[in-house]
Amino acid sequence: MPSPRYWREMPQRYRLEASQCTECGKVSFPPRIVCGCGARDFKKTNVSETGTIVSYTTIRVAPDAFVIQAPYNIAIVEADNGVRITTQVVDCAPEELAIGKKVKFVFRKLYEEGHCGIINYGYKAVLV
């Protein structure tokens, strides 16, 4: 991932920054320029630090950049303020996952990119 494309997303990847529509109150992650309701004014907010597993899987055949991590768990998590996020769920075995289980977001290394091994950081989730 070229560096501008990476650092542009840092507020979301490092701090889970989101935007809340001042008209309808919907929280968008990542932030949007126009809300689904048509309004264009937002205030900055964050995705809640905890949430619930909506669905989950374990990836056993991975893209090249993630092969070293396979098998790894992926879940769609609904944060407590309603935002849904796709994330790895780490520090647990596949059989520990279930729909409805509580998780919290943590800051982790995601993968090393390219021949130079640029380290890409971001959010993952752990069971609570």
Is residue 11 close enough to count as binding other proteins by CB under 8 A?
Answer: no
Is residue 54 close enough to count as binding other proteins by CB under 8 A?
Answer: yes
- Rounded to 5 degrees, φ, ψ at 22 are -75, -15
Is residue 81 close enough to count as binding other proteins by CB under 8 A?
Answer: no
Residue among 56, 77, 62, 75 at smallest CA distance from 111: 62
Helix/strand/coil for 26: coil
Q: Give the interface segment with other proteins, choosing from 15-23, 38-46, 78-86 (CB under 8 A).
A: 78-86
Of the residues 44, 69, 80, 128, which one makes contact with other proteins according to CB under 8 A: 69
Is residue 86 close enough to count as binding other proteins by CB under 8 A?
Answer: yes
Q: Give the interface segment with other proteins, choosing from 16-24, 37-45, 67-75 (CB under 8 A).
A: 67-75
CB of 25 to other proteins, least distance (A): 16
| Residue in the block written with tokens 């929280």 | 27
Of the residues 11, 17, 26, 30, which one makes contact with other proteins according to CB under 8 A: 30
Contacts 24+ apart (CB under 8 A), 74-79: 75/103, 75/125, 77/51, 77/52, 77/53, 77/103, 77/105, 77/125, 78/51, 78/52, 78/54, 79/47, 79/48, 79/49, 79/50, 79/51, 79/105
Residues that bind other proteins (CB under 8 A): 1, 9, 12-13, 30, 54-66, 69, 72, 74-76, 84-88, 94, 99, 110-111, 120, 122, 124
